[in-house]
Amino acid sequence: MAKVNEHYLKLQAGYLFPEIGRRVRAFCEANSDADVIKMGIGDVTQPLPAAVIRAMHDAVDELANVETFKGYGPETGYSFLREAIAENDFAERGVEIDPEEIFISDGSKSDSSNLVEVFGADNKIAVFDPVYPVYVDTNVMVGRTGPALDSGRYEGLVYLPLTEETGFQPPLPKEKVDLIYLCNPNNPTGTVASKKTLQKWVDYAREHEAVIFYDAAYEAFISEDDMPHSIYEIPGAKDVAIELRSFSKTAGFTGTRCAFTVVPRQLTGTTSDGQSQALHPLWYRRHSTKSNGVSYPIQRGAAAIYTPDGKQQVRKLVDFYLENARLLREGMSDAGFTVYGGVNAPYVWLKTPTGLSSWEFFDLLLEKSNIVGTPGSGFGAAGEGFFRLSAFSSRENTVEAIARIQKSVAAKV
Amino acid sequence: MAKVNEHYLKLQAGYLFPEIGRRVRAFCEANSDADVIKMGIGDVTQPLPAAVIRAMHDAVDELANVETFKGYGPETGYSFLREAIAENDFAERGVEIDPEEIFISDGSKSDSSNLVEVFGADNKIAVFDPVYPVYVDTNVMVGRTGPALDSGRYEGLVYLPLTEETGFQPPLPKEKVDLIYLCNPNNPTGTVASKKTLQKWVDYAREHEAVIFYDAAYEAFISEDDMPHSIYEIPGAKDVAIELRSFSKTAGFTGTRCAFTVVPRQLTGTTSDGQSQALHPLWYRRHSTKSNGVSYPIQRGAAAIYTPDGKQQVRKLVDFYLENARLLREGMSDAGFTVYGGVNAPYVWLKTPTGLSSWEFFDLLLEKSNIVGTPGSGFGAAGEGFFRLSAFSSRENTVEAIARIQKSVAAKV
C-alpha cells in the first residue's frame, strides 16, 4: 500500500498569491471596465537585455549543427558561466570564490527548496516574519515542523519578527537555532542589512555552529555605497554561509530561469557522532544525482550578463526599476503614508492606514484605485498592518498608480 | 549545530560513469594517439530538429520585446505544451489524459528523483537489477534504505533481477511492495515489455495498492507494432501508475532539458489512518512550491516537436539511431556475440565472452578496439557478465566500431 508523505497535509491551503488572484478575478468580473494595475507579485516586465538575446540566439544555432551541438552538460553548470560569476560577482568585490564552489540551477526557488535535503531532520530552523513562504513550506514538507497554528505559523519553527521599531532587522534568536534563512535585501520589507548587522549573524552562526542560507536574489538593487553585496564580504562568513543568487530580478530571467548557489568548500555541518562533514560534496552529490543541469542556451544567455554590453544593459534595467521604486516611495510618502524599503530593493513596504488590516487595505486599494498590491500579513503574522508594492511595473503604470492613490486613498482613515 | 543528512553518507562513492571516465582518461594518457570511440553514456549526438530550432529562435525574440515578453510562467508548464502532449502522445493512442494531469519539468532525472518526496518514509520499494542508479540513490538519500551491502545493493530495497532466462522481464516481487520503478523500454537492457507483461504489473499494483513509476524515457524508440507506448494503454493503469516521459532521447534534448510527468487525478496513496489521498494535489503542491517551471523558449522548442514538420524530423532522428542500433546488433551477432535489445531501444545488451566479467570486457574492448562501452555490472549485480553499447553515435563511428570489434575482439575466449 503506497503511503503518502503526510507532512504535505499540514500545509495551509491558502497560499498568498492564489488568494490575491481570486479577489482580483472577482473584482474584475463585477467591474469589467476597471483598468486594474498589478503591483502585487514581484514579476519583471521589461524585455531581456540585448546581449542576452544575442547569446541565446547564438547558442540555439550551435544546437542546430552537428559540429557544435551540445548534449549533457556538467550537472553543476558550464565553466564559462561559473568563472564569469566568480570573477564579476565576487572577485571584483574582493571575495575569493572558486568556480567549483558555484552551482548553477534553474532558480533560487528550487535552490532554497532543495538545500533542506542535505541537512538532517533534527535541525532547529529560524525564519524571519514576514517571510518568503517557500522557506517555511519546504521545511513543512520534509517534516521539520509540527502542525499549523491558528496564527498561520508552524509549530517547531523559530520566527524572528521584522518590526518597525528595529528598522525591520530581526533580533538574534533567543533559543539556539541550527539553520537560519536570511533574505537580504529583504523580501517583502525592501530593507537591507548593513555590514555590522550581517557580522552579528555571522558571529552568531560561528558561535553556535549554525548555517546561514543567505538569499541575495535582490542583490542587484543595492544602491547605497556602503552596503555589502555578498555575505562573504563579512569576515568568517565562508565557514557558515551558503549564498543564493538569481538572474530573475537582476536581468529579467523570471521566465528564462537561471540562478546559482555558492557552497564554500570550508563550510561544514555535523554528524550525529559529532564529526565535522563538509557540505560541498553533499550538495554536489545532490546536484549530480538529481539533475542534469540547466539548458545550454540559457546558461549562455546568463553568461552574457557579464560581458561589457551585458553589464551596461543590466545596470539600465535595474536602474529603471529602482526609479519606479523611488517614485513609489516618494509618491506614497507625499500621500501621507509611512514607507520603508524601495532604496536598495524593488519593493516598497508601507504602513496601512490606522485601523485597517493588510487585507482590508488590499480591498480598499483595489476598490478605490484599482491597484493590486500584496497584503503584508500574507507573508506572516508580523506583516499585519503593512502592505507591499512592487516596482516591477512599467513607468506609465507606476506614475498612474501613484496619481490614483494620491487622489482617492487617504493614508489615515 | 547544523546536522547533515547522514543518509547521504551511505551512498557508494563510485558512481558508474565517473569510474568509466577515470579508466578512459588513464588509457588516453598512456595511448595518446588512440582514436577512442565512445559508446558508453547514452548521450545524443545529432543536432536538434529544425522545427525546434526555429521555435526557440522565435521564443527568444518574444523575450526581446516588451509587448511579447514572458515573466513567470505556470509552474506546471504552459498549456500550449501540455495540450500538445495530451493530444499527440496520448489521445492519438486512445488514451485520455487531461492536460492538467501533465507536469512539465527540466528532465526525467529530476522527476524520478523528486517523486519520492510525495511518498512517506515507510514504503517498500522495488527496483529492477540492473537498474538506472538514480532510482536507488534518491531513495538512499531520503533514508528509505539501510547501508550498502558488499554486493553494492542497499539493505531494505527489493531487487528484481533481469535475467537472460526470462528475456530480461523481471519476476513479480515475492514480498509485498508499495512503490515499483518500471523502466520500459528498459535501460540498460534495451528490451521492452509487451502489453501482457505490463498488464501483470498493473494487476499486481491494483491488488496491493502499490504505485508504479513508469519511466518511458525511451518510448520513441519502440518500433514493433504491437508494443504499448504508454502504461495507460493497459486497462486500470490510471489508478496505479505515474508515467515519466522525456524529450532528451526523442528529440535530442539532453543539453536542452525538457520532460514531463503524468499524474492521473484518480491515482491515490494512503494515509496512516487508512484514508485514500489523491497524489495529483500533492505533486501539484510540490511543483508549485519548489519550482517556477521550465524556461519559456525551451517549452516552445518542445512544443514544436508536435508540429507536422517537427514530427517528421523527430521520426528521422529516432530512425537514425535505430539504424545504428540495428547495425550494432547485427554486427555484434555476426562477430559471435549473444545480443539483446536494440530493436525497441537505442541500447544493445550483449553477453561478455565466457570467463570475462563486465569490467574485464570493458578493459579488453578499450585496449584492443579503443571502444568505450558500459559494464553491465555497473547497473547492478545481476548485470554482471553483460555489457551495454549505445546507438547514440554517428553512423561513421558505429560502422567503425563494429569493424574494429569484428577484427580484434573474440566473442569467445
Per-residue pLDDT of chain B (413 residues; tens, 9 = 90+): 999 999 999 998 666 777 898 899 999 999 999 999 999 888 999 999 999 999 999 999 999 999 999 999 999 999 999 999 999 999 999 999 999 999 999 999 999 999 999 999 999 999 999 999 999 999 999 999 999 998 889 999 999 999 999 999 999 999 999 999 999 999 999 999 999 999 999 999 999 999 999 999 999 999 999 999 999 999 999 999 999 999 999 999 999 999 999 999 999 999 999 999 999 999 999 999 999 999 999 999 999 999 999 999 999 999 999 999 999 999 999 999 999 999 999 999 999 998 899 999 999 999 999 999 999 999 999 999 999 999 999 999 999 999 999 998 877 65
Tell me: do B243 and B221 sit in the same domain: yes
For residue A190, being part of any structural domain is answered with: yes
Q: What is the pLDDT of residue B15?
A: 67
- Across the interface, whether the CB atoms of A271 and B5 are under 8 A apart is answered no
Q: Do A134 and A239 belong together in one domain?
A: yes
A316 belongs to a structural domain: yes
Is residue B232 domain-shared with residue B380, that is, in the same domain? no
Test B11 with A257 for CB contact under 8 angstroms.
no
Domain hosting A358: range is: 7-47+311-408
Question: Which chain A residues touch B251 with a CB distance below 8 Å?
Answer: none
Nearest C-alpha of chain A: how many angstroms from B116?
Answer: 9
pLDDT reported for residue A12:
85
A296 contacts B119? CB cut-off 8 A: no
Contact residues, chain B, for A53 at CB < 8 Å: 60-61, 63-64
Whether residue A186 contacts residue A168, with contact meaning beta carbons closer than 8 Å, is answered with yes
Q: Looking at residues A333-361, what average pLDDT do you find?
A: 95
Chain A residue numbers with beta carbons less than 8 Å from the beta carbon of B64 are: 47-48, 50, 53
Q: Is B258 inside a domain boundary?
A: yes
DSSP B356: -
Residues B118, B187 within the same domain: yes
Residue B275 contacts A where some CB pair is shorter than 8 Å: no
Asked whether the beta carbons of residue A60 and residue B63 sit closer than 8 angstroms, the reply is no
Using a CB–CB cutoff of 8 Å, tell me whether B20 touches chain A. Answer: no
Q: Do B326 and B281 reside in the same domain of the chain?
A: no
* Spatial distance between the Cα atoms of A132 and A137, rounded to a whole number of angstroms: 9
Task: Using the 3D structure, point to which of A286, A308, A330 is the last residue of a domain.
Answer: A308
> Could you tell me whether strands B371-372 and B374-375 are parallel, antiparallel, or unpaired per DSSP bridges?
unpaired
Query: For B64, which residue in chain A has the nearest alpha carbon?
Result: A47
Q: Identify all chain B residues contacting A109, using CB atoms and an 8 Å cutoff.
A: 290-292
Chain B residues close to A286, C-beta within 8 Å: 8, 141
Count of A-B CB contacts under 8 Å = 257
Q: Is there a single domain that holds both residue B285 and residue B154? A: yes
The dihedrals phi and psi of B127, each to the nearest 5 degrees, come to -130, 155
Residue contact B1–A279, C-beta within 8 A: no
Q: Is A48 at the interface with chain B, CB within 8 A?
A: yes
Q: For chain A, positions 199-218, list CB contacts with chain B under 8 A.
A: 208-211
Interface residue B1 vs chain A (CB under 8 A)? yes
Residue A191 has what pLDDT?
95
Instruction: Determine if residue B178 is left, alpha or beta; phi over 0 gives left, psi from -120 to 50 gives alpha, anything else beta.
Output: alpha
Is B24 touching A (CB cutoff 8 A)?
A: no
Q: Tell me if A290 and B70 make a contact (CB, 8 A cut-off).
A: no
Q: What is the mean pLDDT of chain A?
A: 95
State whether B273 and B355 are in the same domain. Answer: no
| C-beta of residue A243 within 8 angstroms of C-beta of residue A292 | no
Residues A77-104 pLDDT 10s: 999 999 999 999 999 999 999 999 999 9
Q: Answer yes or no: is B413 within a domain.
A: no
Instruction: Place A14 in a pLDDT band, splitting at 50, 70 and 90.
Output: low
Domain annotation covers residue B16? yes
Q: In what order do the strands lie in the sheet with B386-390?
A: B339-341, B347-351, B386-390, B374-375
Does A75 contact chain B (CB < 8 Å)? no
Q: Is B302 on the interface with A (CB under 8 A)?
A: no
Locate B164 and state its grid cell: 537472460
Q: Which of B277, B409, B384 lies closest to B334 in space, CA to CA?
A: B409
Same structural domain, A204 and A335: no
Do B70 and B21 belong together in one domain?
Answer: no
> B269 and B331 share a domain?
no
Are both B152 and B194 inside the same structural domain? yes
B102-105 and B259-262 as β-strands: parallel, antiparallel, unpaired? antiparallel
Residue B355: its pLDDT value, please?
A: 87
Residue B44 distance to chain A (closest CA, Å) = 6
Instruction: Give tens-digit pLDDT for A226-280.
Output: 999 999 999 999 999 999 999 999 999 999 999 999 999 999 999 999 999 999 9
User: Residue A290: its chain B contacts at CB < 8 A?
Assistant: 109-110, 113-114, 134, 138
| Grid cell for residue B340 | 539483446
Q: How many residues does chain B have?
A: 413
In sequence order, which residues have a C-beta less than 8 Å from that of residue A280 and are 6 or more positions away?
A: A101, A263, A264, A265, A267
* C-alpha–C-alpha distance, residues A107 and A250, integer Å: 12
- Residue from the list B43, B117, B272 with its beta carbon closest to the beta carbon of A141: B117
**Measured between CB atoms, does A72 come within 8 Å of chain B?**
yes
Between residues A311 and A409, which one has the greater pLDDT?
A311
CB contact (8 A) between residue A209 and residue B113: no
Q: Is residue A37 scored above 60 in pLDDT?
A: yes
Judged by CB atoms closer than 8 Å, whether chains meet at A8 and B255 is answered as no
Please, which residues have CB within 8 angstroms of residue A73's CB and are 6 or more apart in sequence?
A292, A293, A294, A296, A299, B255
State the pLDDT at residue B78. Answer: 98
| Residue B413 pLDDT | 55
Tell me which chain B residue has its CA closest to the CA of residue A8.
B282
End-of-domain residue from the set A271, A289, A308: A308
A151 to each of A32, A246, A378, A381, how far by Cα in Å? 35, 31, 11, 7
Nearest to B106 among A44, A106, A297 (CB): A106
Give me the percent of chain B exceeding a pLDDT of 90: 94
A63, A110, A123 member nearest B47 (Cβ): A63
Residue B150 inside a domain? The answer is yes
Three cell numbers written together for B190:
534495451
Residue B395: which H helix or E strand, with range? Answer: helix B395-408
Report CB contact under 8 Å: B271, A134: no
Q: Which residues contact B269 (CB under 8 A, 6 or more apart)?
A: A2, A3, A4, B118, B119, B120, B211, B276, B277, B279
Lowest mean pLDDT among A14-28, A344-358, A393-407, B326-340: A14-28
Q: Over B26-82, what HEC string results? A: HHHHHCCCCCCEECCCCCCCCCCCHHHHHHHHHHHHHHCCCCCCCCCCCCCCCHHHH
In the structure grid, which three cell numbers stand for residue B365, read together? Answer: 574492448
3-state secondary structure B212-281: EEEECCCHHHCCCCCCCCCHHHCCCHHHCEEEEEECCCCCCCCCCCCEEEECCCCCEEECCCCCEEECHH
Residue A413 lies in a domain: no
- Rounded to whole angstroms, what are the CA distances from B117 to A22, B181, B354? 29, 15, 43
Strands B37-38 and A386-390, how do they pair?
unpaired
- Angle, alpha carbons A23-A27-A31 (nearest 5°): 170
Residue B167 DSSP symbol: T
Map residue B163 onto helix, strand or coil: coil
Q: Is A28 on the interface with B (CB under 8 A)?
A: no
Cβ B254–A72 below 8 Å, yes or no? yes
Question: Given pLDDT bands bounded at 50, 70 and 90, which one contains residue A42?
Answer: confident
Show which of B250, B285, B308 is a domain's final residue. B308
- Per-residue model confidence as pLDDT tens digits over B298-320: 999 999 999 999 999 999 999 99
A120, B5: Cβ pair inside 8 Å? yes
Q: Calculate how close chain B gets to A92, using CA atoms only, in Å.
A: 29
Report pLDDT digits (tens) over B281-299. 999 999 999 999 999 999 9
Q: How far apart, in whole angstroms, are the C-alpha atoms of residue B91 and residue B94?
A: 5
Q: How much is the average pLDDT of A17-29?
A: 90
Number of domains in chain A: 2
Q: Tell me if A61 sits within 8 A of B79, measured CB to CB.
A: no
Instruction: Assign A152 a pLDDT band (cuts: 50, 70, 90).
Output: confident
Nine cell digits for residue A69: 551541438
For residue A253, what is the domain's CATH number? Answer: 3.40.640.10
Amino acid B158 reads V
Q: Which residues of chain B are within 8 Å of residue A257 when distances are taken between CB atoms? A: 292-295
Output the pLDDT for position B19: 85
The partner residues of A179 in beta bridges, in order of sequence, read A125, A211
Calculate what percentage of chain A has a pLDDT beyond 70: 99
Cβ(A302)–Cβ(A59) below 8 Å:
no
Stretch among A4-18, A25-39, A43-57, B183-197 having the lowest mean pLDDT:
A4-18
* CATH code at position B37: 3.90.1150.10
Q: What is the DSSP string of B174-217?
A: SS--SEEEEESS-TTT-----HHHHHHHHHHHHHHT-EEEEE-T
- Please check whether residues A368 and A291 belong to one and the same domain: no
Residue A2 forms part of a structural domain: no
Q: Where are the beta strands (DSSP E) in B94-187?
A: 102-105, 125-129, 158-161, 179-183
Contact B290 A109 (CB under 8 A): yes
Mutate to test the interface with A, among B67, B72, B212, B283 (most CBs of A within 10 A): B72
Grid cell, residue A171, equals: 533580533
- Average pLDDT of the segment spanning A328-355: 96
d(C-alpha A101, C-alpha B210), whole Å: 41
Question: Cβ(B78)–Cβ(B322) under 8 Å?
Answer: no
Distance from CA of A338 to the nearest CA of B (A): 30
Residues 6+ positions from A306 with CB-CB distance below 8 Å: A84, A85, A87, A88
Q: Does B255 touch chain A (CB under 8 A)?
A: yes
Cβ(A315)–Cβ(A329) below 8 Å: no
Nearest to A208 among B1, B46, B134 (CB): B1
ipTM: 0.96
Q: Which residues 351-380 of A are in CB contact (within 8 Å) with B?
A: none
A107 touches chain B (CB under 8 A): yes
Residue whose cell numbers read 533481477: B161
